[in-house]
A and B are shown apart, each in its own frame.
Chain A
């Protein structure tokens, strides 16, 4: 589960101070699929980055499974991400010098999973790229690259999956395909999924939809009720 307590983020741009997030309070139980929507610059990506520990909040605290990650060092955060968090980017961010198969292998090798190779191959099969494992990212289409990124995100069985506009760089057909894949894997594994998107039709498929504007949560709606693993009810 994820908890944000009074989290703000201020950045300095030139001599100007810009508040990206205003004292955000948020609780997400395990297994929930949350869509985050809002116009550009509303703070969606920043929110995701803070939860992944990619950046530190200016004030407030963030808890993952009860652990306060705002006090962790860079290396502790990396270890946390390796163990619990998967991330999917709009720009895919595959490592260009590695093949598709090797890209999936990396997170498992970092934390030292024993049967990494078999799992990587299985994940490749799962995302429908069975025979393209030896291709480099530059040899794959956008949709294929994003499928590799999804396989990579799931490779070490994260509890939390953070997806930053995963279909934003894809045409609608490929986008739909990638989204369905994401959803299927998420359902199968019971992962908490935080999805940032512009696409309201996609957002409507989530359990819960949070709207951000100017760094504030302006709407928080439960769309579908599912039994999720949490200590107290929704």
Chain B
């Protein structure tokens, strides 16, 4: 054992720098796994410890409607329950806000939250400048807002804004708000006012899309029991849901677990790629160490010990690399709060967790071992006789069972590792399979390109011929480099192209969409005024559509039992609230696929037409009867037709359409989808007029939504590009490693060429050609794969039009060529400048 340790140590001392990139590969992979896992585990821990702060209470009851009398009675009973220590009510709704005394500014859609005192029961409101939150800030038409609103409307603390019929004074800026976890997808900035003011401002008029919440603070340990009781009592109340902080904790913990596992797979991709690099380096390394190994065998070293010495070296490097990775992770985790801290709504302890660190270290070691063991087995084939004779061709034709066995074990171990990381055998298998198929395809393309390039070897120019010939140098890892760098280029180009396609889809639609502004919640008595304003601003006759909000309570006279529904899409369709309308005819974007549309005259019996989705997912068909709850009144209607709505070419679309005659008297509001004036003065003035005259109506400006969508898309593609960059980096590391490994060949060749009269310039050109060609091939592979990926995703995944993005592909290929050439030339620098005699003598 002494020998194995000493030998490993001494060899490492001499050749660690040649294997430098080996542990960099490991470090990058381990670093990403450890940092991602640590962060998410800390988030999980914080979710568990702050679950109550996320809900800001122990228990909440919520509904999309104002409490019915029946519900109110039940709730009152609980408010006075012995286990309840306190209660408070909240309303959340989207609404329009506009600046007072600022003509020309555009009204904005905001996420309003109206609260009573005390709020919050758990967690803390954080205001800018260390201002302390008390309810008195809100009382008497005070308002708190997120910084983004102030920026958008060019407001400051002390300014006045208008909400509904009332003016409010801005009294502070919200920095962080408990319970507001994922605000990336919300329509607008947060605004907080007093509960009583919300009612006074007339924001809760009929039809407002508000969410009503009643929060309870309970005695320690009573929340779960109370939730169960409340749930039972409120079961019959439509649309009322009851949740304890434990429910949200569980749900969050579950999804965080899944996120953690998926993200770790990304780390694993980087590690596996690093592993491929390791395997190629180890192969070259063993080739270079052939003589040393033969000497050791000649001096009495048996296979077990010699193999042991080299395996120990690899594991040593793997360990150093993994430790370096942990250091990298620590640095990342240290930097995250500095750049992203304010986007994360939780108090997270930014530190590595032991669990993640140990996992990262063991995965790093395992990958080093798994990917180097096969090339290391070559050591067994090295015969000491090569010290006397140079022929190494000794019978190797026999089946090497050890090798096969080890290969199979490596494969099994990798599947196990991927499954462990993914938290599921199936996903692990799919992941590895997908990786293998990708690698195989890339390898086929690489082989094809390398083969095609062979034709150029007959070219007249010496520089071109020599440069390209170099790609076929023995021990050159041309194919592996092509695969690794190509994979990185593929990731980056693919993601960028996909993003470009998506953005184009957005902006294309904006230019020829039927409507770019939606007015909702128009009251019946405002109809004429709003129509006139629209006519004035757009010149077109306004079309106001009456809408009624309804919920399905019975199907064919049977109560809806959600639990019996297996199909989750069906369950969603049954439990949701519908916005329905009535009209005598079909719109242009609608076609009947079953049954037939009613006569235009109002019918005496309620009749409905359903959209295809309901027919497919709920198995509803002609003749079936649906009973709706419309503001407490039940209406039963018969299905007489099934429609298909072309959602892409529509201003509006309705899943359920009534025949005129039944809903005219139901409580309703109106909506309008219009093509407003182009962004600018006119559009702003129009929106302002609308909100001034009808403070309760909401404007959804498609331009704003597209902006939000674009931002989210940018964030996502930035994240994926970041991962792609890591993969690319791993590819470049493999390139550097491979160059370092074959450096002696290059030095020798260059020395001979120089002796034969080649000038330094010629050598440089040759190297340029070699790496230029390599970069070009890798870039082409990446670009081709990216085209294939984006086409497939666009056509089958997103179902949007695909188009080739020449700029991204061109830049991608160019950057790859540049990077590979620069790295190649830099790593070969001494090949070009060294004097030939020393090198020839050394040989």
Contact = CB atoms under 8 A, between A and B. Distances in A.
Interface of A: 11, 13, 45-46, 48-49, 52, 54-55, 74-75, 78-83, 87, 89, 91, 93-98, 102, 105-107, 109-112, 138, 152, 156, 164
Interface in B352-388: 383-385, 387-388
B292 A95 contact: yes
B15 A82 contact: no
B385 to A, nearest CB: 4
B385 A49 contact: yes
A53 to B, nearest CB: 8
The 3 closest A-B pairs by CB, nearest first: A82-B300, A97-B14, A75-B302
B615 interface: no
B251 interface: no
Nearest to A90: B388
Contacts of B299: 81-82, 87, 106-107, 110, 152
B11 A97 contact: yes
A54 B296 CA distance: 12
Q: Identify the interface centre among B6, B10, B384, B388: most chain A CB within 10 Å of its CB.
A: B388
Given A48-B388, A49-B385, A74-B303, A87 B10 contact: no
B298 interface: yes
Interface string B7-47: 10011011100000000000000000000000000000000
Contacts of A79: 300, 302
A74 B6 CA distance: 23
Nearest to B300: A82
Contacts of A138: 842
Contact of A111 (B295, B297, B298, B300): B300
B564 interface: no
A120 to B, nearest CB: 12
Nearest to A98: B10
B383 A110 contact: no
Nearest to B4: A109
A82 B301 contact: yes
A52 B292 contact: no
B145 to A, nearest CB: 68
A109 B3 contact: yes
Interface of B: 2-3, 6-7, 10-11, 13-15, 291-292, 295-305, 383-385, 387-389, 391, 842
B704 to A, nearest CB: 66
A110 B301 contact: yes
Main secondary structure of the interface of A (DSSP, over half): helix
Contacts of A97: 10-11, 13-15, 292
B300 A83 contact: yes
Given A54-B388, A74-B302, A82-B301, A102 B3 contact: no
A95 B295 contact: yes
Contacts of A49: 385, 388-389
A106 B298 contact: no
A48 B298 CA distance: 12
B383 to A, nearest CB: 7
A158 to B, nearest CB: 10
B271 to A, nearest CB: 28
B387 A89 contact: yes
A156 B15 CA distance: 28
Given A54-B385, A102-B10, A109 B302 contact: no
B385 A96 contact: no
Contacts of A93: 291, 295, 298, 387
A195 to B, nearest CB: 15
Contacts of A81: 298-300
Contacts of A95: 292, 295-296
Given A78-B300, A110-B299, A111-B300, A55 B2 contact: no
Contact of B3 (A13, A55, A110): A110
B389 A45 contact: yes
A61 to B, nearest CB: 18
Contacts of B384: 52, 54
A19 to B, nearest CB: 15
Contacts of B301: 78, 82, 110
Contacts of B7: 106, 109
A110 B300 contact: yes
Contacts of B296: 95, 106, 110
A106 B301 CA distance: 9
Contacts of A164: 388
